Structure formats: structure tokens, C-alpha cells
Structure 1
Amino acid sequence: MSDHLPVLKVRLFGGFSASYGEIPVSFGRNTTTKAMKLLQILLYHGDTGISRDKLLDELYGREELADAANNLRVTAHRLKKIIVDAGLPSHNYINIKKGIYRWDAPMPTEVDAHQFVILSKDVQACTDKVKKLALLKKICLMYSGEFLPELSGDEWVLVESVHYKNIYSESLQELCKLLIERGDYEEALRFCEPACQLYPFDEWQSVRIDCYMALNRYKDAVQEYENTAKLFFEELGIRPSEHMMQQFEQMSSRLNYKPQELGDIKERLKDDDVRGGAFYCSLPSFRDSYRLVSRIIERNGQSVYLMLCSITNGKGMPMDKPDKLEALSGELLNTIQQCLRKGDSFTKYSPSQFLILLVGTNKENCSMIFDRIQRYFSREHKSWKQYLDYFVSSVAEVDRQDSPIQFNTENKTW
């Protein structure tokens, strides 16, 4: 490597791009070809490298090829030519040693995702509030979008994307807390704006509402709430969180709205001591609730359905990749919590399955409920729809042999 050459700067957040010194590097319009995927994988793994087997899986895992290894050799050869044709110095660029593929460039290479992780570790080790504030600002500014969004359907990208989003969300939350403590509300508003655009259903608007209220900009706060409520209803068919509705109640009282103008919203805010969304409980607690409901409906004939929501590999089979399953499972838990009513309860039955008790609904509505769950679950990654499947059965029929959901009575966990 020559330190005299310009730095190759690589951006993986918000889309793949690169610049050599001050000059943008164009590798072609299509960033999803096998050669371009190989380039992005090599740049991401850097000096550490990636094993040949893992590389083959990430490039050709879903494809049935007679000779994937030969395809990799051809793709690597094609990539070397693409790199040089893009205007970078003539060099080998791909180092293969003991089955490990590494990015090997003659110039220093900086990857935004690598710097992002370094900064997050610096934040954790920092005890000085002023320095921490500066580091958090750098992290939030560096995150210009999802990790490699063009490849969001690839499993390795999906897992890394969730990881980076979590770092960004935690950093932004801490940054906003520090800014609000200092009274820098305008600054907090500015940093929350990209998050509201990137993740409109994560309720970063709630932080903006707090800032508007602190600045006595109540009309702006109300507008922020109304836009968010409209978005949630039109896109997902649900309402904002209980916290955000409580914010609205505070705003409305200061703006002296007339009761008839906010009648429907105030009606929903009456029971403001009860947390909104479905009730998550442990498996033993859910089992007790299920048994109680089973007894109640024997007397009153109320309609209650049990839904089994499962995470699959996209082909109807159980998900067999632990990292990916963990990421999807965490998102599904949050989705069910957000999408269902207070009167519904749910639990995690297994690493890939959730049980949902739907009270006072009918079979037709169950499919609509699953559609809502699926929409919310895939709100940021449309390809995630393929990973969800469900079965539903009336609680009164679960014990029947023809029920799509049955419990093994010998299974001590149930």
C-alpha cells in the first residue's frame, strides 16, 4: 500500500458509492451484479477478509449452480477489470490466501461502516459529556441511510443492516437526551429530521414534539402529531403510541381547542394509565390466560381466535440462520406489540414462533390482522414479507384433530 496515493473513500450507508481522492468513482449503474456484490463484500470485510465458503454462500447461496467455485473465479476476474476501467490504479485488488479472500488495494481505503463502529466504541468509552456529544453528532451525521439498501434482500446485508440501525437509534436517542438537557432544542430537531424520514414508524416525531413544546411552538407540535397520526392510520391502520397521544393532550390543553374538535382523540385518551398495544407475557402466563379464556367462552360463546405467527426462510421452511432469526424475531415482537389492541395478548412460543390471542374477532378479520402485521414488519424492507407465515384457529376448536394449531400435551412447556 502506498500512502502517497489518494484515499479511496467508500460509502455503504444509503447506497454504495466511492470516491478516489476528490474524484467520484463510477463502477457502473447496476450495483447488484455478482461482480459488484463481490466488490462490496470485499470492501466491507477489508483486511479481515472472508472465507471462500462464506463468500460462496453470500454470492450464490440461493442459486443451484453446478460449479459455484468456477463462477466465483470468473466473477473475481471480471471485477478486477471493472475496478481498473473505473479509473483506479492497475493492481490485483483481490488477495486470496489459505481460502481467505481479502481486499488488497495500493491506496488507503476508508469504509464508512468501519468508521461508524469505531466511533460507537469511542462513545462507549467516553466519560466527558462534551466529547461524547461531538462523537454522537459524528455518528448520526455519518449514518446517511440503510446499510446497502440495494442488497437488502441478501441475508448478510439484512443482519448487518439491523445491527447498524440499532447503533444509530441508540446513538440518536442519547444525543437527543444530551441536547435537550442543554436546552439545544433546535439542534435536536435538526438531528431527528433524517430519522423521521428514514424510519417514520419508529416515532422519532415524539422527540420533535417534545422540542416544539419546549420552544412554545405548539402549533408546530400539533402539526407534527397530526401528520404522524395520518401516516400511521393510512399506511398501517393503527394509531400512534399512548405516549404520543398523551403529548397531544398536553398540546391541545395549551392551545385551548374546543372539545368537539378533538372528541375522537380525547375519547381514546381517557384510559391514559394503561399502556397501548397488545400485552406481551411469558409463555406460562399466556398459557394461564389461554386456559381462562377457554373456560369463559364455554359459557358466553364469545369469539376468540388463536394465531400462530412463524418466521420462515422465505420458502415455508423453518429459518435455520441464528443471526438472521434473532434479528427478525426482535422485529416481529415489536411489530405485534404495535399492531394489535390492548385486549389482545401474545407470547414467544419458540425462537421462530409467536402465539397471539385475539379476543372478540372473527376468522375473516384474522387475515386482515395478519396483513397488518406483515405490512408493519416489512415497512422498511419489503422483501421481509416472504419470511412470515401464519395459522389461525378458533380457541374452541384448537383441541380438535383437524385444527391447524395443536399443542402436544406431552410437551411440558405448554
Structure 2
Amino acid sequence: MKRLMLKVRMLGQEEITYGDHPILSGKNKITKSMELLLLLLHRRETGIARSRLADALYGVEEVADAGNSLRVTLHRLRKLLLDAGMPEEDFITIREGVYRWSSREEMDVDVWKFRELIEGAEKETDEVRKAELLKAACQMYRGEFLPKLSGQEWALLAAASYKKMYCDALTWIIEWLKKRREYDEILCLVETACRLYPFEEWQTVKIDCYIAQNRYNEAMAEYENTARMLAEELGVAPSERMMEQFRDMSSHISNRPGTVEDIKHGLQEDKKDWGAFYCTPPSFRDVYRMVRRNMERSGRSVYLLVCSLTDSQGRAMEQGEKLEQLAGKLGDAIHSSLRRGDAFTRYSASQYLVMLGELSDRNQPDYGFIYKGTQELGETAALLRDFPV
């Protein structure tokens, strides 16, 4: 008879099965019984003292008797495991006030394997073998540790520890593979990091790989997508350090020699857009500087329009889902209302910058088109200020 196995997934998702019987799936809410099980499995080697266990489970809640609540939770966990078909045994032992998972059942727990791979690599003296272990560890890391329990302090601290293990392992294996020019292998490994931690600059590794392989168009696309994401999703102006990073990246990105027609085709927009031209903040800065230079020769006036979202009292709105929705509507209004020759960017979570050209000093810009586009914003007002460029 085939022996059943308890399988536990904690990296990127919460899932527990015994044979074909699901005990916890990603769709379920994590009960205190399940949290107790996950905590004990996480602390398999050392166990956890009763007081610390009660504090981890109920520390931020108003529980009259944490000790009694722990006993009830433990009883429910044992019943739940028995109902799942596990043989009757002492799944959890308590010795000298320390709770420890002690089931003799065969188990497959991802965090156990992940730690074993990292610890094995740290002891390994052969670089090839160390690289194999770290590569396996990186492939096993599918996401943050117990994401549904991120509000619990113990889970948050453990998640930070596992993330550091993963990032350190990935950094080492990337440098090792770069020496061997195995760029495709690096791209496969770093793709997960870019998805999990999009604001931690792992995209620069992809760009380096593309450049090393002479894949300049893909490098440029990665740069532009990253710049747009940082501006739109992070909701803040890029830091000077980040701007410098983008300058360094763009300085290494160039197109292959080609005919004039090929070059013109590559520079053109992919499709006809009748609205204003959206730029990432770094691109908007470059356009702004170029326009200032052209003004010295042409004598024409160009205005910089600052659109700020505020509440009905004129105060800056706090970041959140509502601000993000309203900022998106304002961006759509600006894009659809302005001319093709005007440029705009999202400067911060609550501000857009617009560059209005072909205006005379005697003919100040009319902001009616913006107000029409923002009528649906309700109590939120778009405060508009213009300044000569």
C-alpha cells in the first residue's frame, strides 16, 4: 500500500494536502488551527515555548485566557488532521513548555527544502556544486512566505529572512553565471525576482544580459517599461539615484547600424495616437530641457502646467486606492483633451506635469478642457497652475 505524504507549501501560497485530501487551499481563510500548524512546521528544529507561541497567535488580539485558547486551538488542529486521514499519533509534543512538531509521517515541506539547499550551499567548497544548490533554491522560491499571514509579526519576520536568503542566493548565482556568459540562464532566474519585487531594480540585470547578447531592442523595451512602471505604479517622482541608474542604462543601449528608413521606422510610434504624448518622468525631463533650448531660438512661449489632486478642502490627498483611481481618471482626461503636440507625465501620486506649446504670452492657456475631463471626479478638484518654461 502506497504511503501517504503530507505536502506543505508556504512560499508564495498556503497549501496543505495529505495524500489527495486538501487540508488547506489557497482559497481558504487561515484559521488559528492552521496558523498553529504552519508556525510549528516553520519552527520544526527548535520548537517554540508556550508563552511565545501564545503571543505569536493571540498577541494583538483581546483574548481573556491565551493559555486556554491555545489548548482549544491545539485540540481542533489534532481533530482536523485526524479527519484528513492521518494516523492517530502525537503530532505535537510538549516538553518543558516547548511545543514541537513530532509526527512520524513522511513530509514534503517547501521551506524545509529551501533552507536545506541554502545551508548546503553555504558549506559547499566546490563552486559548481554550490551553484547547483543555489539555483535549485532560487527556483523553489515562488513568492513571499505565507502571504496571507503578512499581518502577523512572526510570519512577517520569517518572510523577511527567507527573502534575504533568496536575494543573496540569486545575487551570487547571477555573478557566477555572468563569468560564464550564461545569460539565458540568468534571464530565466531573474524573471521571478522582477515579478515578485518589481521596485528593487532586478530589471537592470535583464538589461545587462540583453546588451551582452546584442539584443538592443529588448533592452530598450525593458528600460522603457521599467521607467513607466516606477512612475505610474510607485506613484512618486524617481529619486536622483534612480534617474542616474536610468541614464547609465540608456547610455549603453543603442541600435544596430541600419538604413535611414530602418532607423526612422524604429523611432516612430507603434500606432496613431490622437491624444497628448505621455512620457516617463526621465523622458519628460529630457523633453523639457530640449524645449527650453529651442525657445532661445524660436522665441515662442511654452507653459508647464502642474495638475494637483486635492480634496474638497484643497488639501493633498493621502495615498490609497481612491487617489489611484482619481489619478487614473485625471491622466485619461489630460491625454484625451490635449493636442498631439503636448506632452505630459505623472510626476507623483497626486500630480501630473503638462507641457503646452505654441502659446503666446498674451494668450494664457484655457484650462476648460481639463476641467471638462475632470467633472466626474466629484469632490476632488484638479488644481491647475502654469509657469513659463
Closer/same/farther in 2, CA of residues 184 and 368 from structure 1, 3 Å limit: farther
Paired residues for 1:365-376 under 5 Å: none
CA distance, structure 2, for counterparts of residue 65 and residue 226 of structure 1: 51
Alignment partner of 1:144 is 2:139: no
Matching residue within 159, 164, 167 for 2:165: 167
Q: Which residue of 2 aligns with 1:25?
A: 22
Paired residues for 1:287-326 under 5 Å: none
Q: Which residue of 1 aligns with 2:151?
A: 153
| 2:91 alignment partner AA | Y
CA distance, structure 2, for counterparts of residue 263 and residue 164 of structure 1: 34
Matching residue within 109, 116, 122 for 1:124: 122
Secondary structure of the residue aligned to 1:26 is strand
Is the contact between residue 174 and residue 186 of structure 2 (CA under 8 Å) also seen in structure 1? yes
Matching residue within 222, 225, 232 for 1:224: 222
Larger radius of gyration: 2
Paired residues for 1:366-405 under 5 Å: none
Q: Which runs of 5+ in 1 are unaligned?
A: 270-363, 376-414
Closer/same/farther in 2, CA of residues 230 and 108 from structure 1, 3 Å limit: same
Alignment partner of 1:209 is 2:207: yes
Alignment partner of 1:97 is 2:95: yes
Matching residue within 245, 253, 266 for 1:243: 245
Closer/same/farther in 2, CA of residues 79 and 253 from structure 1, 3 Å limit: same
Identity of aligned residues (%): 43
Is the contact between residue 49 and residue 99 of structure 2 (CA under 8 Å) also seen in structure 1? yes
Structure 1 residue 203 displacement after superposition: 1.2
Closer/same/farther in 2, CA of residues 153 and 190 from structure 1, 3 Å limit: same
Is the contact between residue 49 and residue 102 of structure 1 (CA under 8 Å) also seen in structure 2? yes
| 1:27 alignment partner AA | L
Alignment partner of 1:83 is 2:81: yes
| 1:95 alignment partner AA | T
CA distance, structure 2, for counterparts of residue 49 and residue 263 of structure 1: 51
Q: Which residue of 2 aligns with 1:37?
A: 35
| 2:118 alignment partner AA | S
Is the contact between residue 80 and residue 93 of structure 1 (CA under 8 Å) also seen in structure 2? yes
| 2:116 alignment partner AA | I
Q: Which residue of 2 aligns with 1:234?
A: 232
| 1:80 alignment partner AA | R
| 1:62 alignment partner AA | V
TM-score by length of 1: 0.60
Q: Which residue of 1 aligns with 2:188?
A: 190
Q: Which runs of 5+ in 2 are unaligned?
A: 270-278, 287-309, 324-389
Is the contact between residue 13 and residue 143 of structure 1 (CA under 8 Å) also seen in structure 2? yes
Secondary structure of the residue aligned to 2:233 is helix
Structure 1 residue 63 displacement after superposition: 1.2
CA distance, structure 1, for counterparts of residue 58 and residue 256 of structure 2: 59
Structure 1 residue 86 displacement after superposition: 2.1
Closer/same/farther in 2, CA of residues 77 and 265 from structure 1, 3 Å limit: closer
Matching residue within 34, 54, 57 for 1:56: 54
Is the contact between residue 206 and residue 244 of structure 1 (CA under 8 Å) also seen in structure 2? no
CA distance, structure 1, for counterparts of residue 228 and residue 283 of structure 2: 16
Matching residue within 11, 14, 19 for 1:13: 11
Closer/same/farther in 2, CA of residues 170 and 76 from structure 1, 3 Å limit: same
Closer/same/farther in 2, CA of residues 162 and 60 from structure 1, 3 Å limit: same
Paired residues for 1:331-342 under 5 Å: none
| 2:107 alignment partner AA | T
Is the contact between residue 8 and residue 109 of structure 1 (CA under 8 Å) also seen in structure 2? yes
